[in-house]
Structure 1
Amino acid sequence: MLPTFNEYGMLPAGDYELTLDELRSSLLVVGPSPSPPNWDKEWRLSLVDNLEVMVRQLWAVGVTEIFVDGSFAEDKDHPNDIDGYFECDMDALISGTLERELNRIDHYKVWTWDPKARQPDRGSFKAQLPMWHRYRVELYPHFGQLCGIQDKYGNDLEFPSAFRMSRRDGRPRGIIKIGETP
């Protein structure tokens, strides 16, 4: 069970393991109580449905350590997307094997982290990966490398550290670990 959002509108620091079904019935989708008037439960549910497609593809290639957060894990009425990372084998990633296996499964062939594959989004100035354009979910591979995000002191972080702090103010926050459905 998830705790309620803290005074900063985030999950309290910690890892919270949820299955996809538990995620669908959590406060991240149904909203806190009392529910804010503009809470977009339908949008949040569609994001989880899209996340499920990608998570099942990762499971199919043997990836089980999957974590999600971003504005989806905050008290934002209408989050833009779901962000996350997954732990993977460095050799499978660097050789391109992981990307090829995932794209063999995905009908839209969206699995890439190549910056050249980013396309602008009409609603912003930010270029997004193909997976974001199709699913509104961005999942990044992690094998122990730095991720390009820095803490408030300018130190480079790995995904596990970076995803457990607010990018706005560096406060610690909670993250969701996707548990496998039995």
Structure 2
Amino acid sequence: MTDKIPEFDSAGLLAIGDYEVTLAELRDSILVQGPRNRIEYPTWDASWRLWLVDHLEMMVRQLWLVGVDEIYIDGSFVEDKDHPNDIDGYFVCDLDRLESGELERDLNLLDPQKIWTWDHAMRKPYAGYPKAQLPMWHVYRVELYPHVAGFGCGITDENGYELEFPAAFRRSRRDGKPRGIVKLRQEVDHD
């Protein structure tokens, strides 16, 4: 197992910090394989977490193909939840490309399911879930949101101030405690 991502802290969160890993390193990390102390996590669902990462990879490779290289993942996937519902994340992009629809168009040209949209009207309910989900969630169980510096994400802090994704995604939704985040980096081919 790779040591690039540390064990969970005492609150069950990824320790504060940014952990840069390749997809291969992510698959071999605690976030997929589980904590070293398996007695404390007898129902750790490594096969489900691996399935999520396989689907994440499809989306991440599409982002890389259109020139997006700053991609971060978090959510309950970076916590000690045995079976997280999904993987959440964000990526840094250019405002003009996002506003013009060019980014969404380019991504949908690559994806056979045409899942790339952040239009609230495209959200659909899913049995047993309190909120409707985006098409990407229904197909891949992954939600990746575009981030443009200086723009809020709709998530507020304890004082009601809207946060940007980099700040919002570094806090646990269950209790607001700070936690780490994972940055994905492309593997380098050594031909």
TM-score (norm. length: structure 1): 0.98
In structure 2, C-alpha distance between the alignment counterparts of 1:105 and 1:53, rounded to whole Å: 10
* Equivalent in 74, 77, 99 of residue 104 of structure 2: 99
Match of 2:173 in 1: 167
Q: Does 1:79 align with 2:84?
A: yes
Question: Secondary structure of the equivalent of 2:62?
Answer: helix
In structure 2, C-alpha distance between the alignment counterparts of 1:138 and 1:90, rounded to whole Å: 19
Match of 1:21 in 2: 24
In the TM superposition, structure 1's runs of 4+ consecutive aligned residues that sit over 4 Å from their partners are: none
Match of 1:135 in 2: 140
In structure 1, C-alpha distance between the alignment counterparts of 2:166 and 2:129, rounded to whole Å: 27
* Aligned pairs for 1:1-182 within 5 A: 1-35=4-38, 36-144=41-149, 145-182=151-188
TM-score (norm. length: structure 2): 0.94
Structure 1: 5+ residue stretches without partners: none
Q: How far did 1:168 drift? A: 2.2
Q: How far did 1:167 drift? A: 1.8
In structure 2, C-alpha distance between the alignment counterparts of 1:156 and 1:119, rounded to whole Å: 25
In structure 2, C-alpha distance between the alignment counterparts of 1:95 and 1:101, rounded to whole Å: 11
Deviations 1:17-59 (A, max 9, x none): 0100000000000000122110000000000000000000000
Question: Secondary structure of the equivalent of 2:182?
Answer: strand
Question: Secondary structure of the equivalent of 2:37?
Answer: coil
> What percentage of residue pairs aligned between the two structures are identical?
63
Deviations 1:6-27 (A, max 9, x none): 0111011110001000000000
